[in-house]
Each structure stands twice: as C-alpha cells, then as structure tokens.
Amino acid sequence: MANELIQTEFAEIMQKSYIDYAMSVIVARALPDVRDGLKPVQRRTLYDMYELGIRWDKPYRKSARIVGDTMGKYHPHGDSSIYGALVVLAQDFKMGQPLVDGHGNFGSIEGDGAAAMRYTEARLQKLTQEAFLSDLDKGVVEFVPNFDETEKEPSVLPARIPNLLVNGSEGIAVGMATSIPPHNLGEVIDATIALIRDHSLTNEDLMQYIKGPDFPTGGIVVNEKELAHIYATGTGKIRIRGKVEVEKVPRSDKKRIVITQIPYTMIGAGIGKFLNDVAALADSRIGSDISDISNQSSKEGIRIVLELRKGADEEYIKKLLYKKTRLEDTFGVNMLAVSDGRPETLSLHDILEAHIDFQFEIATKKYRSMLDRELEKKEIQEGLIRAVDVIDLIIEILRGSKDRAMAKDCLVTGNTEGIRFKTKKSKTEASRLRFTQAQATAILEMRLYKLIGLEIDALTAEYEDTLKKIDTYTDILNNYSSMANVIILQLEEYRDSYARERRTRICDEDEVVLEVKKAEAYPCVLLVDRFGYARTVDEAVYEKNKEAADEENRIIIHCMSDSRLCVFTDTGKVHVLKVEKVPHGKFRDKGTPIDNLCNYDSASETFLAIRDLEVVKNQKLIFVTKNGYIKMVEGTEFDVSKLTVAGTKLEENDRLLCVHEAHFQAGCVLVTKNSMVLRIQEDEIPLQKKNARGVIGIRLADGDEVSQVFFLEDGAQTEAEINGRNVSLNRLKVAARGGKGSKIRK
C-alpha cells in the first residue's frame, strides 16, 4: 500500500491544537461548573469519598487513601493537585462552608502548609453529604466514563445550594482566570428562594438579600456603591479592609491598636509581609509612634497588637496602616464559570438562574424516578391484593403445575393445559386469570406468612400509601408551583441548619487620604563602605565609633535626615538620593546598596562622589573627564525635582573621572596614563552649564588619557608618585590650559 502524504498549513495545525489544549484546561481543570460550583478535581475527590463510604458519621480515613483512590479512578493528574484540593475544601478560613471535615494539620491562616497526606485524615461534612451527594442513585445527573473507561463518574454533582456563590472559586486557565468571592449561605438561599417565586427580579432586587461578599476572615468591604455594577457585569474590584480596634492599655496612658479581622487577600504569607511592613513603618520616622508589634493570633482568631507610644495619634496610625500596608486591599472579581459547556462571565442573576434551572432539572429526574418506582410497586401490590382473594385457586395451580414456568404462564395468560385441577370450576376460573409478568413473579415469590390477617391489612395500608405518593409525585411533576415549593422547603431546611451570621461588614467609606506628618529633621552621618552599601547613623553613634568608621567606609557625609544627596557617576549622570530612604540604624548594620536606593545602575556606571545638595548649592563643582575635558558648574544647577540629571556631556568613548569642589587656591594638576603632567590655575577653568562638554584641559597624545587629578592648596605640600618618582606637585610650573604638559621621567 502506497504512503499517502497529506499537506496542510502548519499554522492551522498549531491553532487547532492550541485551542483544543486551552479548552481542555478551561473545562476539565481550572474553572468551576456553574451548577455545582466545583472544579473537576474537587468533584472527583468528594465523589470518591462518598464511594469509599467516608461519611460524616463514620470514622476519619487517611488522606493518602482518598488521594490515591481518586487518582487511580478519576483524576490521573498527580497527587499534589488532589491533596491540595482536599486541603482547601477543609479550610474554614478559605471556604464559606467547608465541604470536608479535616482531622490533623490542614494548614493555618498564616500560611503554614498542611501536613503530609500520610498524617492527616478526612471525612465528608454533613452538609456535603446531604446537599451535594444525595439522590445519586435516582439518576438525577449523568454518569460518564472515567479516563480509562473502567469506572463511571458523575459529570456534575446534584448540588442543592448555589455553591459557586457560597464558597466562591479561584482558578487560572489558559488566557482567562476566575475569581469569585464567597458569600453568606443564608443570604444566598434567601435570594434563590425569592428568584424562584418571582423570575422578574433584577440584580438590584437580588442585592436586597445578598448584601455583598461574606469572607471567612471577616473584614470590611468599603465600596458598597460599586457592588451593584460588579454583580451586574461579573467583573470589578472589591475594596476590603481589616477590622481595627483601639484599646486602652491597663494602668497606663498609652493605647494599642488591635487587628481582629484581616482582608481575605492577606491569607497565608500576606500576614507575615504585613508584620514586616509594619515593622518597617515603625523603624521609619512616619510610623515612629508604633513602639512594638506582636502577633497574638490563636485558634480563637486573629489578634495582631500594635503598641503605641504615649500621646500617639491612633487615627493617623490607622490611616497609615490602610495606606502603606495590605490592611486595605482589593479583591479582583471575575465571575467566570463553565455554563452549558463553555466559559462565561456571569452576573449574580445569571448564576442564581442557572442554579434554579439545574434544581428543577434534577428535581424532575428525581421525582420521575420515584414515580416510576411507586408505579412498579403499585402494580405488584395490586397483584398481591388480588391474589389474596383467590389464594386457594393459586395454590391449586401451583400444586397441579409441573414446573414454575407452567404456573407463571397460567397466572399471566390463563393457559391451563397440563395443569391438574380438582374441579372443572377451578380450571375455568384459572383460565380467566390475567396477572402481569411482574405480578406473577411477585405471587410466586410470596411467602405463606403474608396470608396472615395483619399482614394483609399492612399490604392494604401500604397500597394506600403508594397511591398517595403517586398522587404527590404526579402533582410535583405536572405543576411548577408544587415543584417550586418542594425545592424551597429543602432550601429552607439547609438555611435553618447551616446558615451563620454574616462576618464581613458592608459599607461605603471614602478612600483613605493620608497626610504624612513631616518628621522633624535631625543630624545624622551617611556611611558608604567600599562595597557601595549605604546607611545612616546618629552623630553620637558615629563619634563613638569614629576611628572604625573612618577606616571601614569609603564615604562619610554629615547631613540632615531630610537632606538630598547628589550621587555623581562616571557616565556623567547625577542621581538625587533622599537621605530618608537610606536605612537608619546601628553602626554595625549592613546597609543597602546605593543602586537600590536611587536610579543608579551599578551594572553600567560607577559612582565617583556623593555630595550633600544643600552644600553643593552654595558651591561650584569641577568636572574632569578621561579625555582631558574640564569645566566648572554652578551647584544650583543640580537643585531640580528630577531624580536623575546630566552632570556633564561626554563623548562616546569618554568617562567622567573626577568631581571636586572649586575651593582650591594653587590650581589643579592633571596627570595622564603616559606620565604627562599639566598644572593650571582655577581661573583658567571656564564656568559652563551642566549639559556642556567642557573645554580641553590637557591635550592628549593618541592612546593617552587622564588618570589622576590633584587639587592644590596654598601653603600645603602635595606629593604624588608618577612614573615611579615622588613628585612635589606644588613645585610644578603653572601652564596654560590646553597644553600638552610635561613628561615625568623615571
């Protein structure tokens, strides 16, 4: 058989393959179903627990057993994803209504991970068993083959509560993500009941029942006016704050701020980051009124205590916490879920309507199944009651038949051939019998004790009960109001049994406006070591450690805490650095690299000097480049609002070599790599703008460059080693700027 080549566009194959992959992730992994509010891994885990018999009233079972069974039967995507889902289903600080009852270490609100699955145990919650897994035997949902077609699993669980809203959901798919906040079970059920009774209700009407999200961690939602738009569109941002209380310290004039509820977004590592942020504020001048921080949280709840100094403004501290930390945060809402097999962004009304349609669908299947069972039971009961009236004839048929098939055929069709009767009358009566197949089977299997009078009365009473059930089920199936009442009654039972008080307060509050109190300036000393790490210390600390500080640090500047510093680099740039951004602490603190404190890039530039801008403004600065250019610039030119400005203009292959204050009297000496020396006077250096290149200070030969610059003072001898010789620079002759200079020979 010849090989057949099929030519196609590579782009088309890639597009189709990627779309198939994306839809698989979206529908089968990352997004919840609007009907039961569960992702596939959650659904499979709960169903597997139900199949294993790990019910709410049974002993706990090892999580490893649940994970292994789920992975082997339904979810072959690794044990970590299954155990992760199981852990979240058991965490009461993440779920509005936990669906799994966990026993052991299932993690904490502060970000501690759960213990390994071999240590923890779990079982279903009572609510899960009643509201998610009941009636599976009544064919209310479709069962589909598992991944290897050896088992059957439900395509969706028959959830009786709007779980997508109650527990919310978070997931990242391909090109889309879902983020639905949890809500209060009682409010959601009230809204569902209201919509069942009146389908004309709008989103605004439903919000009379559902005030807003109800996070397990409590907190305060402060943008109530925006909730209507969020619930109408399915997208938006919810601003949520932690709950803050002010307590008076016993036997003291001091106060403390106590945080008893945190934003939902702070769960986990967010608490640790919050404590670090508060500690940083306390170390800074704007939050110096915070004297101590302690996390006193326990199983009873969150309690983070901030001790304040005497006379502190607690309202200012609260605003500072809201503005500078995650104590006020945003929860991004994107109510995306799988509806009718495709991902859709749904409104509040859409979610409840989809849930109600699903309730009527499963209720119809349930009561249709129950009606069919009762009709089968009615058929058999009628046959048994009729059989009791002719029991002597039936016994005669059974005694006269050669086998079971002959007796059953007589009961169903009236065929008496081959059966021995005592009288012709009995044979004639037998030929008139017309039981159904099911009735005949029941008669043949009936035990003799059923002929007792009380048993016959019980059979009659059971038949009457069956007739009532048939009437009830028929009414439910044929009348919308009857089915609606059944669904509502069930919802009310769940509400009465499992609803709890709202934890999250909903209100409207203005955005926090923080007027940062300007800290009183104080004198300090900037220390920069040879590795470029900067820090500030108090002057007293510096004086106490002066000898060690002078020896270990490359730069030492006395300044004020509110000063601005100019960082000059060899690229000709000047970066402005605020002293308040430099970490202030103890003498032996490591500090922070300068490139982390300003726009200075240590990978492409090297800092040459750091000057206090307040001092620089009253000076002139000398700039010297490696290519021999020199100029003088007024210090006021660097007093700008920008964080980075040009200090001098450079040629493509040039670098700034030196920045120095213009306060020398005896001139400056330029020394080149080839040992050429030129001494010029200060008045030879022109005053130019910071964007100018400068003028030629020394004329260089090919391949030569300026390597050193010395500034001379009257009455002070300056010596330097040049080309292996000690040269007294003060004795050099003064020359004109722009000359080649003199050669220093060995």
Convert the pLDDT of each residue in 113-152 to its tens digit.
899 999 999 999 999 999 999 999 888 999 999 989 999 9
Q: Note the pLDDT tens digit of each residue in 585-637.
A: 788 888 888 888 888 777 778 878 888 888 888 888 999 999 999 999 998 88
CATH number of domain containing 307: 3.30.1360.40
294 with 387, same domain? no
d(CA 536, CA 523): 10
Total domains in the fold of the chain: 4
Q: Which residue has the tokens 């970590």?
A: 80
Which residues, including other chains, have CB under 8 Å from residue 204's CB and lie 6 or more apart?
A: 228
Task: Label residue 684 by pLDDT band (50, 70, 90).
Answer: confident
Same domain, yes or no: 273 and 307: yes
**Which residues 6+ apart lie within 8 Å of 417 measured at CB?**
none
- Please give the residue that has the higher pLDDT: either 456 or 732: 732
What is the rounded radius of gyration, in angstroms, for the C-alpha atoms of the chain? Answer: 43
If pLDDT is split at 50, 70 and 90, which confidence band does 452 have? low
Sheet holding 169-172, edge to edge: 169-172, 177-180, 328-334, 235-241, 220-221, 505-506
pLDDT, residue 450, reads 65
Q: In the predicted model, is pLDDT for residue 517 greater than 90?
A: no
Supply the CATH number for residue 42's domain. Answer: 3.90.199.10
471-478 average pLDDT score: 94
Section 497-510 average pLDDT: 92
What local confidence, expressed as pLDDT, does residue 647 receive?
87
Q: Do 255 and 366 belong to one domain?
A: no
Residues 602, 455 within the same domain: no
Residue 406 or residue 358, greater confidence: 358
Q: What is the DSSP letter of 517?
A: P
Specify the pLDDT at position 454.
57
Catalytic (active-site) positions? 119
CA-CA distance, 85 to 660, in Å (whole number)? 65
Domain of 358 in residue numbering reads as 354-497
Q: Which of 463, 497, 531 is the last residue of a domain?
A: 497
pLDDT > 90: percent of the chain: 49
Helix extents (H) in 569-681: 613-616
One domain, residues 272 and 133: no
* Residues 360, 307 share a domain: no
Helix (H, G, I), strand (E, B) or coil at 642: coil
Residue 301 included in any domain:
yes
Average pLDDT of every residue of the chain: 88
Are the CB atoms for 331 and 25 separated by under 8 Å? no
Give the DSSP H or E segment for 350.
helix 348-389
List Cβ<8 Å contacts ≥24 apart for 422-425.
Answer: 422/396
Tokens of 652: 């493509």
Are 476 and 550 contained in the same domain?
no
- For residue 570, what is the domain's CATH number? 2.120.10.90
Report if residue 484 sits inside a domain: yes
- pLDDT tens figures, 316-360: 899 999 988 999 999 999 999 999 888 899 999 999 999 999 999
Question: pTM, whole model, 2 decimals?
Answer: 0.73
> Which two tokens mark 609?
């000097």
Nearest CA among 16, 43, 14 for reference residue 338: 43
Q: Is residue 266 part of a domain?
A: yes
In a domain, 188, yes or no: no
Residue 346: DSSP 8-state: -
Q: Is the domain of 589 the same as that of 643?
A: yes
Rounded to whole angstroms, the Cα distance separating 472 from 490 reads 16
For residue 516, what pLDDT is reported?
A: 64
What is the reported pLDDT for 54? 95
**564 occurs within a structural domain:** yes
Helix segments in 414-452, DSSP class H: 424-430, 437-445
Residue that finishes a domain, picked among 111, 130, 158: 158
Question: What's the whole-number mean pLDDT along residues 267-290?
Answer: 84
What are 354's two structure tokens? 């989809």
pLDDT at 27: 63
* pLDDT higher than 70, residue 262: yes
Indicate whether 2 pLDDT > 60: no
Same domain, 565 and 674: yes
In a domain, 333, yes or no: no
H or E segment at 131?
A: helix 126-131
**In Å, how far from its chain's centre is CA 105?**
21
Contact 129, 146 (CB under 8 A): no
Residue 113 neighbours by CB under 8 Å, 6+ apart: 107
Q: For 99-109, how does the pLDDT look when each residue is reduced to its tens digit (9 = 90+)? A: 999 999 999 99
Q: How far apart are alpha carbons 710 and 422 in whole angstroms? A: 143
Both 276 and 359 in a single domain? no
* Choice among 20-29, 413-422, 723-732 with the minimum mean pLDDT: 20-29
Helix (H) / strand (E) containing 495: helix 480-498
Whether residue 584 is contained in a domain is answered as yes
Q: Are 366 and 473 within one domain?
A: yes
- Rounded mean pLDDT, 402-406: 87
Domain contains 287: yes
| 156-160, 321-325, 653-657 — most confident range | 156-160
> 489 and 528: one domain?
no
Rounded mean pLDDT of 260-267? Answer: 93
Q: Could you tell me the pLDDT band of residue 301, with boundaries at 50, 70 and 90?
A: confident
Give bridge partners of residue 152 from the DSSP assignment.
145
Residue 562 CA to residue 578 CA, distance in Å, equals: 7
**491 CB-contact burial (10 Å; exposed 0-12 / middle 13-18 / buried 19+):** buried
